[in-house]
Amino acid sequence: MLRNALEPWHLILIIAVLVLLFGSKKLPDMARGLGRSMRILKAEVKTLKADEPDVTPRPDATPRPEAASRPEAAARY
């Protein structure tokens, strides 16, 4: 159903409606503002990922519950 959601004529129609609604003078300013917002968002996400501690559990840190009940499985870990 959504396989051919945005065909070229859809994009032309969307651009025409945007030009009619906002005018050709406002569109470059809006695009510039959107670009700045995307750059700021990307930078913030990057800093948040850098600030997060590594929360992945190490396999040697704690034994698995099923490994504790089976001695042969506990020997592997």
Residues 31 and 39: their CA atoms lie apart, in Å, by 12
41 located within any domain: yes
- Is residue 68 domain-resident? no
Taking the C-alpha atoms of residue 55 and residue 35, their distance in angstroms, rounded to an integer, is 32
**Is residue 71 included in any domain, yes or no?**
no
- At 51 the pLDDT is 81
Q: Is the pLDDT of residue 25 over 60?
A: yes
Within a domain: residue 18?
Answer: yes
Q: Quick one: pLDDT at residue 69?
A: 57
Q: Is residue 62 part of a domain?
A: no
Per-residue confidence (pLDDT) for residue 58, from 0 to 100: 61
Number of domains in the chain: 1
- pLDDT higher at 46 or 72: 46
